[in-house]
Structure 1
């Protein structure tokens, strides 16, 4: 959990380690938030980047051993640190600049940015992210999940989920439960 002074802007920290004998393509469903990411993969130089809000499903190829750590900001939470229009980051990954932040880049409040999820609203993005997290938890009653998350019905959930991930919620859950190929 972030330090109390950072909680208005930082949602959480995350860490992924891997040691693979075969390359693996990980599909990622975007969250409506900016991440500051630090990566170290065997045979490559360590680096950091600012990952803007992605507009759709994307894939990251993992191989060998490595680690990725990140700071996920709350929607709008990165704006005070960026100091420029957030739209400049949409769908982009920028190398993390070296040195101190630009002058005048002081936190101004947690939701100063306005719309941060291009093409849709934040509620839809959060609902989809929650459905994806629940799908990863295992077999579910999808009609109950749809009702709990505020979808009109199960078909509404399935349409939005499939549009973002490329597969139905049940297929997504099965793919996570399946043993790795190879």
Structure 2
């Protein structure tokens, strides 16, 4: 009897180990956001989602994946994300987000709160601001051999003007680590 119970228990453990996570999907089912640009407007926000563009990635590039931007508008971060997911075949994935740039030289506190509360956005994401407008800032993306997010993060990390790049992170600036 003891052998039967152990055998059944082992079979159950093996079956559980062989099944995948229900939430896990194919890599092709997600839009991996590597950088975001946020611009405050009269009616809410414009958000530029700079996502990994695997169609332009070459096999020998390793982790150097270019990116491609799409811009959506909404009254909040969540509303803009919903607009994206209603019109795009892929789900947003913020797990690889490196940089968020606020344009027109202003960081919006309401948007910061939404970013801090979003479960997928790491507190280590760099928060930057630019005097440029969204379109102008992301116009260089098409000419980059790497993603816009990687380009911006490397630029900050190697800049002699920035002594501690980690001090520019979402969690360190806004008190949540």
Which structure has the highest helix share of the two?
Answer: 2
Is the structural similarity TM-score above 0.5?
no
Larger radius of gyration: 2
Q: Give the TM-score normalised by structure 2.
A: 0.26
